[in-house]
Structure formats: structure tokens, C-alpha cells
Amino acid sequence: MGRVLIVDDAKFMRVTLSNMLQGAGHEVVGQAVNGNDAIEKYIHLQPDLVTMDITMPELNGIEATKAILKHDPNAKVLMCSAVGQQKTVIEAIQLGAKDFIVKPFDEDRVMDTINQVLHT
């Protein structure tokens, strides 16, 4: 099981992911509401995995992922995208994100992807 940092500006999405992860035995070590918050919490908490929303205020998920990977090239970042953000998801994966999950979340797909990323 992994230690996960959830990054999303929407509280509902953070709660939804948190419930899924905890229900599967993962530990949610923190939640961040924007990219700047995500970078600070990543450095402080050193999670095994980050779920990163793409569209957020202050600093978007792409820029936050770049900063996290600069700090820790081995960071495991899983992008969370809405339908229609394929171009942005491809950019994130080229930068080093490990995979992506699509909103609205399908719990089986989310857990399969998270488990796969944690074990790579």
C-alpha cells in the first residue's frame, strides 16, 4: 500500500479520491488545493504517489509536476484529467508523469492505475 498526496482544487474530488484510496488500504498523507501547495507538501511529506489535477488556480498541474520532478526525478505523479484534455495529458507524460486517470472517476480504473504505478 502507498502513501498518497492528493492534489485538486475541488474539495469534492479530493474527498472522492481519498475515500477510494483509504478504502483500498492506502494512506492519504496530505491534500493540496493548487500547484504551489502540492510542491510544498510533496517536499515535506515525501509521498509514494501524487494524484495531480491539471487545471488549478495559481499553478497548474503541469507546472507543479515539472517542479516536483525537478526536486525528485523518481517522483510518481499520476495526472487527473477531464475528458478533452488529451493533449495536456500527453504533455504531462512526456514530462515524466507516470500515467493518468479520467474524471469522472471509475473506481476500478483508478485503483488499477494507482496500484500499477506504485509497483513500477
CATH code of the domain containing 93: 3.40.50.2300
Q: Give the chain's residues under pLDDT 70.
A: 83-84
Domain that holds residue 71: 3-118
Identify the pLDDT of residue 38. Answer: 98
What's the pLDDT score for residue 83?
Answer: 67
Which whole-number Å values give the CA distances from 40 to 18, 60, 67, in the listed order?
Answer: 19, 14, 10
Residue-level pLDDT at 71: 97
- What pLDDT is recorded for position 110? 93
Domains: count for the chain:
1
Per-residue pLDDT at 6: 98
pTM of this structure? 0.94
Q: What pLDDT shows up at residue 116?
A: 94
* pLDDT reported for residue 36: 98
| ∠ CA 103-109-114, rounded to 5° | 95
Q: Tell which residue, 96, 120, 22, has the closest CA to residue 79.
A: 96
